[in-house]
Amino acid sequence: MHLLDATMFWSRTGGGVGRYLREKQNWIAGHTAWTHTIVTPFVDAYSGVAVPSWPLPGSGGYRLPWNRTAAAQQIEAQAPDLIEADDPYRLAWSVLDAGQRLGVPTVAFCHSNLERLAASHAGGVAGRLARAYAARLYRRFDRVYAPSRAMVDHLLDWGVERVFHQPLGVDTRMFRPCAGDGRWRVRLGLPANARLLVYAGRYAAEKHLDVLSAAVARLGPRYWLVAAGGGPRPPRGERVVRIGYLRSAREMARLLAEVDAFVHAGDQETFGLGVLESLACGTPVVARQAEGLAELVDGSVGAAVPAGTCAAFAEAIHAVCVRPSPERAEAARRRALAYDWGRVLPALCRSYEHLLGHPAPRTPAWAGLQHAG
């Protein structure tokens, strides 16, 4: 079986879609006889096929494919048995074109909520137009995967029928409680008694990093925010340290295992890979109680914040940091173990096999452990 993934969400610096595809390629290579090809705007150690593209300013290293026909032809030339689109833009239409000409199934993985993204940047009219566009696109695929139940509900509300809940995962051998070694505080020159918070991801408006910066300022001199990422809207503040993207998963694991809490104020997340990696390290998470984050975080593993204000986040962060809890760390680790890539990816591959007419998957969608919200 030859599986092909296509996406413009591919960067040399970071990105959740890229992490998902790299993990999937590694798992397929180690556990199946399948061929897996990744088509992106440029070639690297994982992506073997590049399509014509232009740099996308302010995007953190992404490039925009511009030739739908040429991209479809390059996909066709690989002769895949199944094609997955991992972004909702021009390459998704190339995937549909190639699938139709080859006579093979096409699936999409919905990694972002276009309606809410457009509305937050350009208002309600833009949001409604984006919703109509996304519905028109996703209805054409044989299956659409969504990483959270919240995103499943959005897609169904848009009139997309063949929707499957398929969470993403975490490498629980890399991200583990003993990964920290105490060096990050020394490296950053922070006081030994500093309460260290970390955010990892893109610096974008919908992440509400200004809320986190303001919360740190409100909490006082003992609290510091370390931001690992990049993008057009970086957090700023007296006790905000930006360290850029960490390309090494081992370094990220060391950082996450050492800090007092992971923080995330985004209200549009369809999942939350950084959240899951922190939980795997036994690190509590303080996150907005919204969309996909609300399905990963509750009071047993940190704090889910109903209001997106700096006061609400400051209160929740302080409550978590002043009461360290071994039981909470153990609960965080247990939750992450339910999403280990070794559980998540076999379920996804069984779904692919079912679509291709192979033996049906043992479960209709995701068989992860449930937890109280």
Query: For residue 111, what pLDDT is reported?
Result: 97
**pLDDT tens-digit map of 191-201:** 989 999 999 99
How close are the terminal C-alpha atoms of the chain, in Å?
A: 39
Q: Report d(CA 330, CA 296) in Å as an integer.
A: 15
What is the distance between the alpha carbons of residues 273 and 132, in angstroms, rounded to a whole number?
A: 28
Other beta carbons within 10 Å of 369: 10
pLDDT above 70: residue 366: no
3-state secondary structure of 153: helix
* Domains 2-169+340-355 and 177-337 in one fold: yes
Residue-level pLDDT at 302:
99
Question: What is the C-alpha to C-alpha distance for residues 238 and 201, in angstroms, rounded to an integer?
Answer: 20
pLDDT at 371 over 60: no
pLDDT band of 358, cuts 50, 70, 90: low
CA distance 137 to 70: 19
CB atoms within 10 A of CB 174: 15
Q: What is the share, in percent, of the chain residues with pLDDT greater than 70?
A: 95
**2-169+340-355, CATH topology level:** Rossmann fold (3.40.50)
**CATH code at 177-337:** 3.40.50.2000
Domain ranges of the chain: 2-169+340-355, 177-337
Q: How far is CA 1 from CA 23, 77, 106, 108, 357, in A?
A: 18, 15, 14, 18, 12
pLDDT for residue 281 = 98
- Given a cut of 50, whether residue 361 has pLDDT beyond it is no
Q: Report the distance separating Cα 325 and Cα 72, nearest Å.
A: 53
What is the tally of helices (H) and strands (E) in the chain? 13, 15
pTM of the model: 0.92
User: Alpha-carbon distance 59 to 202, whole Å?
Assistant: 9
Section 210-223 average pLDDT? 98
Mean pLDDT of the chain: 93
Among 40-54, 73-87, 345-359, the range with the most confident prediction by mean pLDDT is: 73-87
* Mean pLDDT score, 118-145: 97
Is residue 367 pLDDT above 60, yes or no?
no
- What residues contact 4, with CB distance under 8 A and at least 6 apart? 36, 37, 38, 39, 75, 78, 80, 82, 83, 84
Residues 6 or more apart whose Cβ sits within 8 Å of residue 50: 39, 40, 41, 42, 43
pLDDT-based confidence at residue 63 (cuts at 50, 70, 90): confident
Confidence band for 53, pLDDT divided at 50, 70 and 90 = confident
Per-residue pLDDT, 138? 99
Q: Report residue 362's pLDDT band, with 50, 70 and 90 as the boundaries.
A: very low
Could you tell me which residue, 223 or 45, shows the higher pLDDT?
223
- What pLDDT, on a 0 to 100 scale, did the predictor assign at position 45? 65
Sign of CA dihedral 106, 110, 111, 113: positive
Mean pLDDT score, 267-287: 98
